Amino acid sequence: MSSSKTAKPKIHQIITLALAALTIVFFVFYGSLPVSYDYVVGSIANQDIYAPRSFADTYETQRRAIMARDTCEDVFVRSDKQSQECIDHVDDFFDLAEQARKSARATQTPLKPADAAEQLSVNVEQTMGIKIAADDIVGFIDASMSNTTFTYIREKTTSIAELIMLGDVNDAVLPVKISEYIDAFCESSPSYSKYADAMTVVLSSILEPNTIYDEKATADSANNAYNAVLNEPIIVEKGTKLVESGSIIDEHIYSNLVELELIRDSSFNLVILARCALYVLIISACTVVYLNIERKKLKVETPVFYLLITTFLIPIGVSVYLSTLSTLLCIVIFFAAVCATYLGTQNGIILSVVNLLFVWPMYGFDPQIFFINIVGIILCSIFAGRKDEIINNAALIFFPTIATIATSFAYNFLIGNARTEYLNALIFTFVSTIASLVAAIGLSPIFELVCNAASPVKLIALSQPGQHLLKRLFLEASGTHSHSMMVANLADSAAEAIGADSLLCKVAAYYHDIGKLENPEYFTENQHGGVNPHDSLTIMESVGIITRHPEDGVKLAKKERLPNAIIKIIDEHHGTTYPSYFYRKAVEDAKVKGLEPPDVNNFRYRGHIPSSRESAIVMMADTCEAAVRSMKTSDVQGAEQLIRVLIKDKIDQDQLINSGLSFDDIEKIVIAFKQVYAGVFHERIKYPE
């Protein structure tokens, strides 16, 4: 049952968070700035320089792109006109050859084949501008070639010319194609193979490449080659040696150093600052969303709030220096141990991952450090956040350390690093984890002293029967002690049912009534022999003693330096209710005397209504336990009915409006109380006398 008004963070906390965010931006900015150098082109390097991150080598990429563009081959395209002209020339040649054949066979003045061939050669040169030796074409004139054979050879030669001209033919391809088709002709027509040489001469002499230079296509091809190289830039991997000591800084090297922002610039680098601010802003926004969702569960006291802010900033600030020594020196696990101790495992993991994300840019976004620390954070938060038992400090150090070392080994094994890298990674991982956990454990007493917070270790120590106040309660107010133990059982069960802090509920229940130690005999559970001191007091004197015990409890708790969370529950466990027995008695007395009923506000406890789920649980457990004991209820159904009536009364009196409990939580609490009483009321075996 939550209040209609959502609790808002205090203004000083908002200001602190804003200042913390600015501090983180400052740390990330300076931690991410690479080491810079005063080199110019022509300088002599005095040390080796390695790439702090992977980057695109724009200088080399541009050089290769220009080379690809300039060495791109010219583009030639097939010309239909030129192809047809070559075919027509072949046909023209055979027309002239046919005329020469007729001249050689003329009845009046026949020419010798050699003379006819010579005349054909001259005619071809004059008509077509092509020079063909007479000896190479005399076979077309010779009387041994019949007209039918001539016609066949003409058709085959023309056909071969057409086939060759169908494709893109350049100077290199043309002789190959002619040779291929002539060989095919010889295989298919072996009886005519003797004319193959003459056909080859004709085709080789007449046919020309049918491709012409395409200026636009050549330019487009060059541009495509240029852009293809630019679209796949040369990537230089992180850790690559860019400069060797003693070498000259040339334009290429200088360009890479500028690309990596390694050249010192007197101006303030606003670009890097903007990057860091945006990075921090995005992560911070996600964190704020998470904290807003969990705000009802995360009710952190002011001292703990400042402790967590401080320990959150420590790993980030220290990483500015540690990241310059090694990419594996990181103490994020220090914050994980502290955060999980005070906020539990879930919040310890999530907020520690946020912490790791903030320091990650300082380590060049190295995946190894992220992988190792994620494992360490999870295991450390699980151990540090446990509230059911005391975790041995040695175990808290041992298991996360072993886990991170194993993770480091596995990572280096998977990526196949060299043996020296294995060793360095294991050493730095071991040192980081050990230092983080030892620091967290060593400083924990100081944290508890400064914050007076209810850490699991502190609560478990306070729950021990030998604790000073519990011994006093047992000896001086045994009835109250017994009542507190039962309240603790109820509160513990209810807290587990709704996911609240069960350890805090249980321990706070042990101490919620320590104020009764001031006047133990004035409370019925501590009275014996039928003697009631209230018989000798007026109603208002009795009310004053009864309603003062939360205030007395707060004073005693502060004197004994109990955690603030327990002190708050002591103050709130009665809220602003009133002892109904004495109020009714006062109403009856007033009625007998004929007076107006007394003002109920004069009978109220002077505490505050519960401000947390844990405080509300203790209030309901205290009320139900006292009523069930007073009514001497001995069956589960009767106890449940009484519990529901009592809790409804608390709701009607607006005692739970700031508790953060929902009606579903209330129902789970009733069932939890019922289960506890089911165990208390179970039948026992009757032993013989």
Question: Which of the residue ranges 5-19, 320-334, 366-380 has the most confident prediction, judged by mean pLDDT?
Answer: 366-380
496, 621 Cβ separation under 8 angstroms: no
- Mean pLDDT calculated for residue range 81-108: 85
Partners of 55 in the beta sheet? 236
CA distances from 211 to 78, 181, 201 (A): 4, 20, 21
Q: Residue 199 is encoded by which pair of tokens? A: 């056909």
Q: pLDDT value at position 445?
A: 80
Q: What's the burial of 130, exposed, middle or buried (CB within 10 Å: 0-12/13-18/19+)?
A: middle
Q: Residue 517 is encoded by which pair of tokens? A: 């130690």
At residue 406 the predicted structure's pLDDT band, cuts being 50, 70 and 90, is very high
Q: pLDDT value at position 488?
A: 93
- Mean pLDDT calculated for residue range 143-165: 90
Q: pLDDT value at position 687?
A: 52
For residue 56, the surrounding DSSP H or E stretch is strand 55-56
Contacts of 183 (CB under 8 A, 6+ apart): none
Residue 343, number of CB atoms within 10 A of its CB: 20
H helices present in 129-214, as ranges: 134-137, 147-166, 173-188, 196-206
Characterize 347-359 residue by residue with b for buried, 16 or more Cβ atoms within 10 angstroms of its Cβ, and e for exposed: bbbbbbbbbbbbb
What is the Cα–Cα distance from 674 to 665, expressed in whole angstroms? 14
Confidence check: pLDDT of 50 > 90: no
Amino acid of residue 23: T
At residue 298 the predicted structure's pLDDT band, cuts being 50, 70 and 90, is confident
Q: pLDDT value at position 420?
A: 78
Q: Residue 473 is encoded by which pair of tokens? A: 């309660």
Q: pLDDT value at position 583?
A: 84
Q: What percent of the chain has pLDDT over 90?
A: 33
- Mean pLDDT calculated for residue range 294-301: 73
- Number of residues assigned to the chain: 689
610, 659 Cβ separation under 8 angstroms: yes
> SS in 3 state form for 268-315?
CCHHHHHHHHHHHHHHHHHHHHHHHHCCCCCCCCHHHHHHHHHHHHHH
At residue 5 the predicted structure's pLDDT band, cuts being 50, 70 and 90, is very low
Confidence check: pLDDT of 4 > 50: no
Amino acid of residue 195: Y
Structural domains in the chain?
11-30+269-453 (no CATH), 76-213 (no CATH), 459-680 (1.10.3210)
For residue 445, the surrounding DSSP H or E stretch is helix 419-451
Contacts of 104 (CB under 8 A, 6+ apart): 110, 111, 112, 113, 116, 141, 143
Query: Could you read off the pLDDT of 219-245 as tens digits, one per residue?
Result: 989 999 999 999 999 898 877 888 888
- Mean pLDDT calculated for residue range 134-151: 86
**Which is more confident, 296 or 152?**
152
H helices present in 294-392, as ranges: 302-325, 332-343, 345-359, 367-384
Q: pLDDT value at position 599?
A: 86
Confidence check: pLDDT of 463 > 90: no
Confidence check: pLDDT of 1 > 60: no
Confidence check: pLDDT of 287 > 80: yes
Query: Could you read off the pLDDT of 251-279 as tens digits, one per residue?
Result: 888 888 888 777 766 555 777 788 889 99
For residue 457, the surrounding DSSP H or E stretch is helix 456-462
DSSP letter for 514, please: G
Confidence check: pLDDT of 683 > 70: no
Q: What is the DSSP string of 544-602?
A: HHHHTHHHHHHHHHHHTT--HHHHHHHHHSSTT---HHHHHHHHHHHHHTT-PPPPGGG
97, 120 Cβ separation under 8 angstroms: yes
- Mean pLDDT calculated for residue range 151-166: 92
Phi and psi angles of residue 617, each rounded to the nearest 5 degrees, phi first: -60, -45
For residue 117, the surrounding DSSP H or E stretch is helix 113-128
- 88: three-class secondary structure by DSSP: helix
